[in-house]
Amino acid sequence: MSTAVSRGTSPVSPARQPRLTVLSGPSGVGKSTVVAHMRKAHPEVWLSVSATTRKPRPGEQDGVQYFFVDDEEFDKLIANGELLEWAEFAGNRYGTPRQAVLDRLEAGEPVLLEIDLQGARQVRETMPEAQLVFLAPPSWDELVRRLTGRGTESPEVIERRLAVAKVELAAESEFDVTLVNTSVEDVARELLALLR
């Protein structure tokens, strides 16, 4: 069973104005899994697709999981103010294309961003009305197990991810709501309720 903890901000009525919801948390906590589960049952939920300089993992498609760009293209996106937020993580850069988010909000649709702590902080600065949701692991040991069990990264990258995860966990109090990922189904349902 997952646990939702409210941080005391008053929600904006979806009928009056759509809201940008940011889902963040440490690497390996299951953000992508939760979002995928929710969107399988509710494909109408719009998830912003980030641009990244990271190379695609097996099975990833350009424009689906990410927009895969090179460093020069990413520099242009930053210079032209085309990113709502961006961050560097494990040697790669990630960013949210601004216009697509604004277009959806203008159309009256709630928008979900799945981004890291740096990006969430940038969104809080530029869009203080955004709802920030922190996805926490059930325990530190479980997070370590998830990160080392992927088998897609080198030991050095895993060590960096664990060090960053400690910093990210310490930032939980900066968020409006915390969801503990003990059950993908429960957390997906709670996140959907927050979006609505």
Query: Rounded distance, CA 182 to CA 87, Å?
Result: 27
Tell whether domain 4-195 is in CATH 3.10.180.10: no
Q: Per-residue pLDDT for 16 more than 60?
A: no
Q: Which amino acid is located at 188 in the chain?
A: A
Q: Per-residue pLDDT for 165 more than 70?
A: yes
Looking at per-residue pLDDT, the higher value among 73 and 28 belongs to 73
The pLDDT of residue 146: 83
Query: Across residues 118-143, what is the average pLDDT?
Result: 93
Extents of the domains making up the chain: 4-195
The pLDDT of residue 27: 82
Query: Rounded distance, CA 169 to CA 162, Å?
Result: 10
**For residue range 57-76, what is the model confidence (pLDDT) as tens digits?**
999 999 988 999 999 999 99
Mean pLDDT over all residues of the chain?
A: 87
pLDDT bucket at 36, cuts 50 / 70 / 90 = very high
Are 93 and 52 in contact by the 8 Å Cβ rule? The answer is: yes
Nearest to 195 by CA among 15, 85, 45, 1: 45
Q: Per-residue pLDDT for 49 more than 70?
A: yes
Angle between helices 155-170 and 140-149 (to 10 degrees): 150
The pLDDT of residue 62: 94
Nearest to 180 by CA among 141, 117, 134, 136: 136
The pLDDT of residue 54: 96
Q: Per-residue pLDDT for 5 more than 90?
A: no
**For residue range 74-130, what is the model confidence (pLDDT) as tens digits?**
999 999 999 999 988 778 999 999 999 999 999 988 899 998 888 999 999 989 999
Give percent of the chain with pLDDT exceeding 90.
61
Token pair 């990244």 is found at 52
The pLDDT of residue 181: 94
Supply the pTM of this predicted model.
0.80
**CB neighbourhood size of 82 (10 A):** 16
Q: Per-residue pLDDT for 1 more than 50?
A: no
What secondary structure letter does DSSP report for 177? E
Q: Per-residue pLDDT for 12 more than 60?
A: no
